[in-house]
Amino acid sequence: MPQTRRAAVVTILASLASVFLLDAAIFRTGFYLRWMEPDSSTGLTEYRYRAELDRQKQPGKLVLTFGDSRFAYLPRVANQFTAESGFVFRHAGTAGSSARDWYYLMRDLDPEARQYQAVVVGLDDLEDEESLVSRQDDPRSLHYSIGRLGLGDLKEFALSHDSPTYQWAAVRGGILKGIVMQEDVHDLLLRPRERAQSARLNWGGWAGWAYDYDDEERSLAGLAIDWKTRAMTYPPGMDPGYKKMFNETLLRKATPSTGRRAAYQRKWFGRMVEHYRNSETRFVFVRLPRGPLSPLEDVPLNPSSSVRVLAKRPRVYLGAPLRYASLERPEYFKDPLHLNRAGAHAFSKMLVDEVRELIGPPR
Amino acid sequence: MLFNTAQFFAFFAAVLLLFYTLPWFAARKWLLLVASYYFYASWNVNFVPLLLTLTLVDYFCARWIEKSAKPRVALIISLSANLGFLAFFKYTNFLASQVTQLTGQPARVFDIVLPLGISFHTFQSISYIVDVYRGQQTAVRSLPDYALFIAFFPQLVAGPIVRARDFFRDLLAWQAPSGEEIRLGAWLMLLGLTKKMAFADRFAIVADGYFGNPVPGQWTAITATLAFGLQIFFDFSGYTDMAIGMAKLLGFHFPENFRRPYLASSITDFWRRWHISLSSWLRDYLYIPLGGSRHGSWRTYRNLLLTMLLGGLWHGASWNFVVWGGYHGLLLGVERAARLDEPRGWLRLPRLALTFVLVMLGWVFFRANGWEASQFVLHEIFLGSRGAGLLNAWQCGLALGALLMALAEDRWAVTERLARGPAWLYVPAFALMGLVLEIFGVFDQAIPFVYFQF
């Protein structure tokens, strides 16, 4: 069948478009979500997204929370106090995620900015202390957000990375989502039967299991630090590798601020707050318990930190920096960063109280 | 600027756009020349003078050969320049290390960087100059045209080794590609990219992991060798497909370089299908000048062996490549002595399997880091304890899929049919291939093409 050059060029353009359309049919329509593994970064975010959309259909004055793994409160425990507080707590944060990922999830969960009484963000620091890893160039971010990114988000999302390598990865993955979901697809091809079974189970039960989750009981009882000599006493039976990790985490000196984290938080918390500018939803930043042992000195107060500046806006609240200092005890932690079951239970109750105090009763 | 990077695709898109925007073909040729030198300089600008020097030497030598009554002097100058540079850059340190081993005296080791594509453009230049000397090719009048023949970016780095008559036939009577050629060119680019990123790079991860540090285990060694055999095929044929596809889009026609070599029914057949432009070059400029098969059996075997030994050495300065070439030379000799008929029908299968196994065994010399590593891997393949396989289910699926595609191509010439067929067939096939690339492509590591190091 002879082809004119023009027809050939049109065919090639149509072919390129068809690559995008096929990807879109599989990964943008929700078709693949049914098969996705909830233990993956993308899967976890997408399961949370679906669970929260389902929850919005039920009555209740919802408070949506975001944070990483350190924001270890348990909505199930917090909601035992709904009768007193009036609020139903829901958690949409995931381990390892950060403000950029929360923004896209929050935007899609509440496009009209009227679903929630409040949005609460849990932070390990209110002073813009630098984190050990670059928030801007965190490769996990693409995986957390990929399900939520539309073509219109591509430019902003890509340019929010500093490194051209990550910017390109974001553009590429944003156009062809299958590239980002490769590992999940490979796993699906490797064990299709188990994955189909897992999908059937998770599709129906994941939201309930996640809500009913309870933390581990193990604690760090016995952990102590002599801050003068910086000598650490470890809980009995701790192996040397774990001791090293404790030293590196608990005796770590504050990383000097370079302004990178401040810029990151200003941008993405700014976007989150802006989303609710004309709505009744309140925005709350709380500072999480810092660790199993209160440090000798806290990070110096930064009056112009990103969250302090945002907290000057109407309907934006900032929790007290040391509100949870009473939880900074080895008995309440399972490792140098994360609360254990007792800690999570105590924290959940205290969080409800603090949110209620800051924003008042439901409207 | 690797072919499998966004940077290269942006470069190629810009070249393509400008090429068809310029109204005069003379300007288009200049564009291709400038783009080719830019492409070369983007790797290492320091070697641009080397490329220019060789181009000038060969250009003037060819003119000299054509005009002179004593053309042999010009031929020797050109061959000396080409082979001299190749030997210096590629074999100096190898020779020094051999001197050290023989004499026990430490020889000086030079910090030499191998210029990109030198093995390929040197062979291309030699074929041109020899053809002019033989009177089979007229010396090119235009220096820019000759410079473009040597530096043309789609084939500069790793071939195919294009003969002057083919290139200048296209250049001097250039015609815009037909609709079928445009479709075929785009398809070959996608196919090549998929072969490289979704197949070669996936198998490269397995092969590199093993050959970087071989471990005991028969099944481990077998699967790692198989992974390398698949990697090198997909890597090189992927590159070639892209080169041929790019050339087609620009109105040039490169020769076929791979014709489903793992479906060969003998080693002789394998070399008719594998790196065809190199094997035909070796035949025309080495085997036949050595006497070919015209002077009796023993001279024929000697010529075969010598050709393959030098062909092996062309790949790299290491005894492993020489052994690999010698291994293939021996097998070719054995096949010639056995005078085996070409099997037909199902009888082809055992021969096909045997050839495949022999070729895979040869790759051990090609890939292992040194002689001792080769011995170790071969020992494990034949005598090792069982060990664990390195290819998982979907990697085996990729290999099987590739085999089916090769069989389909062999039987139905799928690529040609797609290019000529209706759009409703081409578009979904393109989309499916794109999906394979998307799902299986290695995007987070820029794994260089294997043949770039030669």
pLDDT in tens, chain B (454 residues): 888 888 999 999 999 999 999 999 999 999 999 999 999 999 889 999 999 999 999 999 999 999 988 899 999 999 999 999 999 988 888 888 888 888 887 777 777 888 888 999 999 999 999 999 999 999 999 999 999 999 999 999 887 999 999 999 999 999 999 999 999 999 999 999 999 999 999 999 999 999 999 999 999 999 999 999 999 999 999 999 999 999 999 999 999 999 999 999 999 999 999 999 999 999 999 999 999 888 888 899 999 999 999 999 999 888 999 999 999 999 999 999 988 777 777 888 899 999 999 999 999 999 999 999 999 999 999 998 888 889 988 888 888 988 898 888 888 888 888 888 899 999 999 999 999 999 999 998 888 888 777 7
Which residues in chain B are closer than 8 Å to A9, comparing Cβ atoms?
182
What tens digit of pLDDT does each residue of A171-216 get? 999 999 999 999 999 999 888 999 999 988 888 888 899 889 888 8
Taking only the tens place, the pLDDT of each residue in A97-113 is 999 999 999 999 999 99
User: Which run of H or of E encompasses B43?
Assistant: helix B25-43
Average pLDDT over residues A145-150: 93
Contact B179 A18 (CB under 8 A): no
- Contact, A176 vs A18, CB < 8 A? no
3-state secondary structure B93-146: HHHHHHHHHHHCCCCCCCCCCCCCCHHHHHHHHHHHHHHHHHCCCCCCCCHHHH
Give the single-character DSSP code of A301.
Answer: P
CA gap B199, B234 in Å, rounded: 6
Residue B263 burial (CB count, 10 A): 18
Helices (H), A87-162: 99-109, 140-145, 154-159
The whole-number pLDDT of residue A2 equals 57
Provide the phi-psi class of A37: left if phi over 0, else alpha when psi is between -120 and 50, else beta: beta
* Whether A164 contacts chain B with CB within 8 A: no
d(CA B359, CA B352): 11
Report chain A's C-alpha Rg in angstroms. 22
Q: Does B428 contact A12 at a Cβ distance shorter than 8 Å? A: no
Residues 6 or more apart whose Cβ sits within 8 Å of residue A161: A136, A137, A167, A170
ipTM of the complex: 0.85
pLDDT at B451: 78
Q: Is the dihedral of CA B281, B285, B287, B293 positive or negative?
A: positive
- Rounded CA gap, A100 and A269, in Å? 8
Is the distance from CB of A41 to CB of A140 less than 8 angstroms?
Answer: yes
CB contact under 8 A, B431 and A2: no
pLDDT score, position B445 = 83
- For helices B348-367 and B371-383, the axis angle rounded to 10 degrees is 140
CB of B335 less than 8 A from some CB of A: no
CB atoms within 10 A of CB B288: 14
Q: What is the residue whose two structure tokens read 């009484």?
A: A117
For A89, phi then psi, to 5°, come to -90, 135
- Location of structure tokens 């942006």: B10
pLDDT in tens, B161-190: 999 999 999 999 999 999 999 999 999 999
CB contact under 8 A, A5 and B428: no
CB contact under 8 A, B177 and A179: no
List CB contacts (< 8 A) between B249 and chain A: none
Cβ–Cβ contacts within 10 Å for residue A10, how many? 14
Give CA–CA dist B200/B237, Å, rounded.
Answer: 10
State residue B267's pLDDT score. Answer: 94
d(CA B205, CA B392): 12
Contacts of A169 in chain B (CB under 8 A): 443-444
Say whether A3 and B432 touch across the interface (CB within 8 A).
no
Per-residue pLDDT reduced to its tens digit, B211-235: 999 999 999 999 999 999 999 999 9
Contact A3 B179 (CB under 8 A): yes
Q: What is the mean pLDDT of residues A36-41?
A: 88
CA distances to B230, B330, B357, B362 from B263, rounded to whole Å, are 13, 20, 11, 16
Q: Which active-site residues of B does the annotation give?
A: 315
* pLDDT surpassing 80 at residue A299: no
Placement of tokens 């191998």 in the chain: B114
B7 vs B1: CA distance, rounded Å:
7
B13 touches chain A (CB under 8 A): no
The percent helix, strand, coil of chain A (3-state, each to 5) is 50, 10, 40
Does B426 contact A11 at a Cβ distance shorter than 8 Å? yes
List chain B residues with CB under 8 Å of A186: 394, 439-440
Instruction: Name residue A339's beta-bridge partners.
Output: A333
Backbone φ, ψ for residue B304 (5° rounding): -60, -50
Q: Tokens 């057949």 identify what position? A: B269
In chain A, residues with a C-beta closer than 8 Å to the C-beta of B432 are: 22
* CB contact (8 A) between residue B186 and residue A19: no
Nearby residues of B323 by Cβ (< 8 Å), 6 or more positions away: B312, B365, B371, B374
Q: Which of B179, B422, B439 sits opposite A185 (nearest CB)?
A: B439
Radius of gyration of chain B (CA): 22
- Closest CA–CA distance from residue A181 to any residue of chain B (Å): 8
User: Which one-letter DSSP state was computed for residue B321?
Assistant: H
Residue range A269-273: mean pLDDT, rounded: 96
- The answer to whether B178 contacts A3, with C-beta atoms less than 8 Å apart, is yes
Q: Is B286 helix (H, G, I), strand (E, B) or coil?
A: helix
Domain ranges of chain B: 6-174, 180-265+342-453
Q: Is A304 on the interface with B (CB under 8 A)?
A: no
Give A189: exposed, middle or buried? Use CB within 10 Å, 0-12, 13-18, 19+.
Answer: middle
- In chain A, the residue whose alpha carbon lies closest to the alpha carbon of B421 is A1
Size of interface A-B (CB pairs under 8 A): 89
Report the candidate in B226, B400, B323, B443 with the shortest Cα–Cα distance to residue A189. Answer: B400
Looking at residue A330, the DSSP 8-state letter turns out to be G
- Asked if A9 is an interface residue toward chain B (Cβ–Cβ < 8 A), one would say yes
Average of per-residue pLDDT across A301-310 = 92
| pLDDT band at A243; cut points 50, 70, 90 | confident
Q: B200: closest CA among B276, B258, B252, B161?
A: B258
Per-residue pLDDT, A358: 94
High-pLDDT (> 70) share of chain A, %: 99
CA–CA separation, B92 and B201 (whole Å): 31
Read off φ and ψ for residue A222, nearest 5 degrees. 110, -15
Is the CB of B431 inside 8 Å of chain A's CB atoms? yes
Tell me which residue of B149, B116, B118 sits closest to B39, measured CA to CA: B116
Cα–Cα distance for residue pair B441/A169, rounded to 1 Å: 13
Q: Residues A337-357: what's their mean pLDDT?
A: 95
Distance from CA of B113 to the nearest CA of A (A): 27
| Six-digit token string for A7 | 């027809």
Residue type, B333: G
To the nearest whole percent, how much of chain A has pLDDT over 90? 65
The residue length of chain B stands at 454
Angle between the B423-440 and B179-194 helix axes, to the nearest 10 degrees?
Answer: 20
Q: Which of A1, A5, A168 to mutate to test the interface with B (most CBs of B within 10 A)?
A: A5
What type of residue is B84?
G
**From residue B103, how far is each of A244, A263, B90, B96, B371 by CA, in Å?**
52, 65, 22, 10, 20
Decide if pLDDT at A124 tops 80: yes
Q: Which residues of B touch A182 (CB under 8 A)?
A: 438-441, 443
| CA neighbor of A198 nearest in space, from A188, A213, A185, A212 | A188
Check if A8 contacts B (Cβ < 8 Å): yes
Suggest the residue from A1, A12, A184 to mutate for an interface test with chain B (most B CBs closer than 10 A). A12
Alpha helices (H) in chain A, listed in sequence order: 5-27, 41-56, 75-78, 82-85, 99-109, 140-145, 154-159, 164-175, 177-180, 182-190, 192-212, 240-250, 260-275, 306-310, 341-359
Minimum CA–CA partner of A7 in chain B: B179
Q: Cα(A293)–Cα(A250) distance, rounded to whole angstroms?
A: 8
CA-based nearest residue to A123, from A262, A287, A272 = A287
Residue of A nearest to B394 (CA): A190
User: Quick one: which of B432, B443, B423 has its CA closest to A21?
Assistant: B432
- Helix or strand or coil: residue A264? helix
Looking at beta carbons, which residues of chain B come within 8 Å of A3? Answer: 178-180, 182-183, 420
Angle at B232 between CA B227 and CA B234, to 5 degrees: 90
Tell me if A299 sits within 8 A of A123, measured CB to CB: no
Q: Minimal Cα distance from A185: which residue of B? A: B439
Interface test with A, best of B417, B435, B438 (most A CBs within 10 A): B438
Q: Is the pLDDT of residue A146 over 70?
A: yes
pLDDT at B109: 74
In order of start, what are the domains of chain A with their CATH numbers?
1-60+137-214 (no CATH), 62-131+217-363 (3.40.50.1110)
Going by C-beta distance under 8 Å and a sequence separation of 6 or more, which residues neighbour residue B449?
B2, B3, B4, B157, B158, B196, B235, B236, B239
Query: Is the Cβ pair B434, A19 closer than 8 Å?
Result: yes
Helices (H) and strands (E) in chain A, counts: 15, 7
Coil vs helix vs strand at B245: helix
Q: How many residues does chain A have?
A: 363
